[in-house]
Structure 1
Amino acid sequence: MRILHTSDWHLGRSFHREGMLGHQAAYVDHLLEVVAHERVDLVVVSGDVYDRALPHVDAVRLADEALARLAASRAAVVLTSGNHDSAQRLGFSSRLIDAAGVFIRTDARTVGTPVLLEDQHGPVAVYGIPYLDPDAVREPWGLTARSHEAALAAAMARVNADRGGRGARSVVLAHAFVAGAQPSDSERDISVGGVSLVPTTVFEGVDYAALGHLHGRHTLTETVRYSGSPLAYSFSEAGQVKGSWLVELDAGGFAGAEFVEAPVPRRLARIRGTLDGLLADPALTGHEDAWVQATLVDDVRPLQAMERLRSRFPHTLVLGFEPAGGERDHVPTAVPQGRSDHAVALDFVDAVRGTPATEAEAALLLAAVDACCEDPDFDVLVSGAG
């Protein structure tokens, strides 16, 4: 059996206010191409299909299209809910959809009941474990500890109880933070009382564990892997290679895995230097079409820095300042006695930027102060008296 392991689509997510739906649709096209070209028998999606519990209508439309196309392909599909999904919404009509070969597993009560598939070597039991909130399952499952490890261990106990009586090869989908992997900035924290890690040992005996939640690919053991997200969702993922695991099961179980890279609609780049240096450096030519996170180290904060950066790097999304000499002196928050609001605002600009406000900026600040003042003439009078 050939299995394509993917997860964390986060349909509907934006990247620093840039829409990603077109890029996500391109990934769906890629996924279907891989299914056909590699003769994939089973696609597993290990949670976080959507980016939010109440997804935008366009994200729902793309998910519907993706699942309809997969249902019409040669592959069966097993899909679980993640911590970003609404289990009830994603799982709506799942019992009817099973008939199309798309098996959506979002209900903790069904953990331990597999999707049974066949290949030339016999049965394969696929167990979909949705994201388990420890607080939600603690009472019904009689857990003695409040942690993700306790919840997932209890789920795997149900899986193993069923698996032991079948003698079939087994695949498990789980959405969790498993020890040994490095998170990115874009995953939502799922810690409960500071306890979020799950050991890889909970998956012992399973032929393959397809993990979701972390956005970078990881091989924790030969049979326990994260596919990562198909697209980068934070600049901390700039160095990651995105894609899916193509896993092979033979008569004896796990027979190997290779990584299938996904298309990159727009690369990410993190650049650092003075503004003039970044604008002139020929080594940065390859980043001119990338989404850019720039950090400026100029001693004095340059004027119109974002506009100037975008003249060369039009897709600059994040701009930070780290002066080479370190942070400037702390700006006091209390208004000094006898000084006008306008004068304090001018001092603030000078302290933060390192250069005084221009005449045009000073006039704009004065207009802003006047607009916020109960008596529009008060600040002008104080400023003139001082």
Structure 2
Amino acid sequence: MRILHTSDWHLGRSFHREGMLTHQAAFVDHLLEVVDSEHVDLVVVAGDVYDRALPHVDAVRLADEALARLAASPAKVVLSSGNHDSAQRLGFSSRLIDAAGVFIRTDPSTVGAPILLDDEHGPVAVHAIPYLDPIAVHEPWGLPARSHEAALAEAMRRVRADLARRSARSVVLAHAFVAGAEPSDSERDISVGGVSRVATSLFDDVDYVALGHLHGRHTLADHLRYSGSPLAYSFSEADQHKGSWLVEIGPEGLVSAEFVGAPVPRSLARLRGELDHLLSDPGLARHEQDWVQVTLTDQVRPVRAMERLRQRFPHTLVLGFEESGPRLGALPARRTEGRTDHDIALEFVKDLRGAPATDAEAALLREAVDSCCDDAEADPRPPAGRPA
């Protein structure tokens, strides 16, 4: 059986206010092409189909199109809910949709009841474990603790109890943070009591485990893998290779796993340095059409920095400044008695950035001070023609 393992589509998500739906639709096209060209028998989606519990109508439309196209293909589909999904909304009419060969599992009460598929070597039991909120399942399942470890341990106990009753190869979908993998900035924290990771040993003795939740691909063991998200959703994923795992299950279990790269709509780049250097360095020409995150290290913050960056890097999305001067709490104490508010503000600017305010900045500060002190004790304006 040839299985295509994907997860974390996050349909409807944006990337620093850049709409991603067109690129997500291109991934769906790619997915169908792989199903056709690689003769895929089963597509598994390990959670986070949507980016939010109440997805935008365009995201729902794309999900509907994707599942309809997959249902029309020779492949079966098994899909479970993630921590971003609404289990009730994603699982609506799942019992009816089963008849189309699309199996959606979002209800914890179904854990331990497999989807049974067959190939020329016999049955394959697919156990789709939806995201399990430890607080929600603690009481109904009688868990010893409110933790992800306890919830998934009970889920896998139910899975093993089923597998012990039948002679079948096994595939498990789980949406969790498994120890040994590293998170990205774009994943939502699922920790309970400060703990979110679960042990890899929970998934021993399963032929293949398709993991979701983390957005980077990881191989924790031959049979235990994250596909990661098909698109980058934060600049921390700039060096990640996005795609899906193409897995083959033979008569004795796992035979192979090959990573199939997904289309890249636009590369990501993280640049750091002084503004003038970034604008003139010929070696950065390769990033001119990338989505760019910039950290400037100039001693004095440049004027119109974003505008100037976008003249060379038109897709600059994030601009930050590295702290080079003292922090606010580390500024020296200054005498204020007998001094004007304007003088104090000017000295603050000089202490903070290590350079005095320009004439234009000094004038703006005076206007700000005067607008806050519309009374008889306001700082006096200097006579016309005399500098402030």
Shift in CA distance, 168/341, structure 1 to aligned 2, threshold 3 Å: farther
Shift in CA distance, 177/347, structure 1 to aligned 2, threshold 3 Å: same
In structure 2, the residue matched to 1:300 is 300
Tell me if structure 2 keeps the 8 A contact 1:213–1:228: yes
In structure 2, the residue matched to 1:223 is 223
Distance across 1 between alignment mates of 2:352 and 2:301? 8
Deviation of residue 338 (structure 1)? 6.1
In structure 2, the residue matched to 1:132 is 132
Shift in CA distance, 120/277, structure 1 to aligned 2, threshold 3 Å: same
In structure 1, the residue matched to 2:385 is none
Unaligned runs of 5+ in 2: 383-387
Instruction: Name the SS of the counterpart of 1:264 in structure 2.
Output: coil
How many equivalent pairs are there?
Answer: 382
Tell me if structure 2 keeps the 8 A contact 1:342–1:383: no
Instruction: Name the SS of the counterpart of 1:378 in structure 2.
Output: coil
In structure 2, the residue matched to 1:153 is 153
Q: What one-letter code is carried by the residue in structure 1 that aligns with 2:55?
A: P
Instruction: Name the SS of the counterpart of 1:381 in structure 2.
Output: coil
Deviation of residue 352 (structure 1)? 4.2
- 1:220-242: CA deviation from partner (whole Å, max 9, x where unpaired): 00000000011111111111000
Deviation of residue 382 (structure 1)? 2.1
Distance across 2 between alignment mates of 1:350 and 1:17? 35
Instruction: Name the SS of the counterpart of 1:211 in structure 2.
Output: strand
What TM-score, normalized by structure 2, do the two folds share? 0.92
Distance across 1 between alignment mates of 2:311 and 2:365? 27
Deviation of residue 142 (structure 1)? 0.7
Tell me if structure 2 keeps the 8 A contact 1:343–1:383: no
Q: What one-letter code is carried by the residue in structure 1 that aligns with 2:309?
A: L
Write out aligned runs for 1:2-17 (5 A). 2-17=2-17
Q: What one-letter code is carried by the residue in structure 1 that aligns with 2:104?
A: I
Shift in CA distance, 311/102, structure 1 to aligned 2, threshold 3 Å: same
Distance across 1 between alignment mates of 2:282 and 2:219? 37
Select the residue among 378, 381, 388 that pairs with 1:381. 378
Deviation of residue 9 (structure 1)? 0.7
- 1:1-24: CA deviation from partner (whole Å, max 9, x where unpaired): 110000011111111111111111
Write out aligned runs for 1:217-296 (5 A). 217-296=217-296
In structure 2, the residue matched to 1:76 is 76
Distance across 2 between alignment mates of 1:299 and 1:353? 7
Identical-residue share of aligned pairs (%) = 74
In structure 2, the residue matched to 1:88 is 88
- 1:146-182: CA deviation from partner (whole Å, max 9, x where unpaired): 2111100100011111111111111000000001101
Deviation of residue 300 (structure 1)? 2.0
RMSD over equivalenced CA pairs, Å: 2.3
Shift in CA distance, 117/365, structure 1 to aligned 2, threshold 3 Å: farther
Distance across 1 between alignment mates of 2:333 and 2:184? 34
Q: What one-letter code is carried by the residue in structure 1 that aligns with 2:375?
A: F
Shift in CA distance, 124/370, structure 1 to aligned 2, threshold 3 Å: farther
Deviation of residue 357 (structure 1)? 3.9
